[in-house]
Amino acid sequence: ARTRGLRFGSATAWSAPGADRGGIGNPRYTALLERDCGILVAENEMKWQRLRPTPATFDFERADAIVALAKAKGMAMRGHTLLWHQTKWMPRWEATHDFGPRPATAGAAMLTQHIQTVIARYAPQVASWDVVNEAVNPNGSGLYETALSRAIGGAEPTLDLAFRTARAAAPGAQLVYNDYMSWEPGNDAHRAGVLKLLEGFRKRGTPVDALGLQSHLVTQGTAGGIAGQQAEWRRFLDAVTGMGYKLVVTEFDVRDNRLPADPAIRDRGVADYARAYLDVTLSYRQLRDVLAWGLSDRYSWIEGFEPRGDKARRRPTLYDRDFRPKPLYGAVAAALTAA
């Protein structure tokens, strides 16, 4: 990556010292991070759910520990996320919070105080922020609303306020809208919704620098439709970059669906599928950073989220359960080298 002026990185969780987890307390895991990564992102520890136990308090302990590790090892950081714009991903208290007699003022104050406080703590180490995460309903019905956005007066002004506040607090940082609209069939409405949101940001002069492509890929079983998917994806990325946005691959991994259980066959299918995606995506000069959402199959979130029907263990990341590099590692390296 470095020889191409690119940067590779990964998410990491916090974990207790010695725990067998995909986090900073596990030396077998941090060895992978140190070996491969120029940039880290906290998988969960900078979310409202973790930072805001109550409306009046912050708990920075675990996020601090991740940032300290990055600093000690000379790695940059991305920040994820200043606003995950869905009630189910906000702290539980958010849904029923009483914003008082002047909800617009109180809601705006809560959002701006949160963003200013988090940015002040982690600047300048965090050079790129997922200011807003997943605000677009993938079914095409528009933007989500939360208790906070209803108080402020709607999703649009809420997202705009988030970006404006972030720009003022971190003038030099890259500000990202991050979402999981992907290249697979069935994502048309989601991609259209994201384009509409990005157009709106430009019309209103909202300071957004880049689109975060989460890149949670899902193999489709055959290579048959891959050229069509690539063409579709190019159309989308052309539209995004045509509006002047940069791109970041923020959460790369591959859900190994519709592939045989045999690990060798599955790993090959995953690697080829990912290479086809990365070749298109990395052909855009607007893209410099590629971050994986964890580095070992042993700890990937996907196992818990969607286990395979045949009970075979998921193999979504670059390293297997025993920390050995898989064909996906080679595919990512080759795509970076070819970029």
Binding residue for ligand G3I (CB under 6 A) from 233, 301, 319, 329?
A: 301
| Strand pairing class (136-137; 142-143) | antiparallel
How many Cβ atoms from other residues are within 10 Å of residue 63's Cβ?
A: 23
Residue 94's contacts (CB-CB under 8 Å, 6 or more residues apart) are 48, 87, 146, 147, 148
Q: Is 44 in the site for ligand G3I (CB under 6 A)?
A: yes
**Region near ligand G3I per CB under 6 A, out of 39-47, 141-149, 152-160, 239-247:** 39-47
Nearer to ligand G3I, 28 or 102 (CB): 28
Residue 316's contacts (CB-CB under 8 Å, 6 or more residues apart) are 253, 254, 255, 256, 270, 297, 300, 302
Of residues 45-64, those binding ligand G3I (CB under 6 A): 47
Nearer to ligand G3I, 301 or 329 (CB): 301
Nearer to ligand G3I, 184 or 339 (CB): 184
Number of residues in contact with ligand G3I under rule CB under 6 A? 9
> CA torsion angle for 109, 76, 213, 168 (degrees, to 10)?
30
Nearer to ligand G3I, 144 or 226 (CB): 144
Q: Is 297 in the site for ligand G3I (CB under 6 A)?
A: no
- Could you identify the residue written with the tokens 């080829």? 272
**Region near ligand G3I per CB under 6 A, out of 40-48, 94-102, 205-213, 257-265:** 40-48
What are the structure tokens assigned to 288, written together?
């410099």
> x/- binding map, residues 104-143, to ligand G3I, per CB under 6 A?
-----------------------------x----------
Question: 61 catalytic, yes or no?
Answer: no
Using CB positions, name the residue nearest to ligand G3I. 301
What are the structure tokens assigned to 268, written together?
């090959």
Give the number of C-alpha atoms closer than 13 A to the C-alpha of residue 9, restricted to the C-beta side. Answer: 27
C-beta of 216: minimal distance to ligand G3I in Å?
Answer: 6
DSSP result, 252-272: EEEE-TTS-S-HHHHHHHHHH
Q: What's the gap between Cα 100 and its chain centre?
A: 33
Of the residues 43, 134, 156, 232, only one is catalytic, namely 134
Binding residue for ligand G3I (CB under 6 A) from 12, 37, 43, 201?
A: 43
Distance in angstroms (rounded) separating the CA atoms of residues 288 and 1: 9
| Strand pairing class (7-12; 287-292) | parallel
Question: 184 catalytic, yes or no?
Answer: no
Nearer to ligand G3I, 134 or 267 (CB): 134
- Could you identify the residue written with the tokens 């998921």? 314
Q: Is 177 in the site for ligand G3I (CB under 6 A)?
A: no
Asked whether the beta carbons of 166 and 112 are under 8 A apart, the reply is: no
Of the residues 94, 156, 232, 251, only one is catalytic, namely 251
C-beta of 304: minimal distance to ligand G3I in Å?
Answer: 7
Distance in angstroms (rounded) separating the CA atoms of residues 128 and 5: 17
Nearer to ligand G3I, 62 or 266 (CB): 62
C-beta of 263: minimal distance to ligand G3I in Å?
Answer: 23
Residues that bind ligand G3I (CB under 6 A): 43-44, 47, 89, 133, 180, 214, 251, 301
Q: Which residues are identified as catalytic?
A: 134, 251
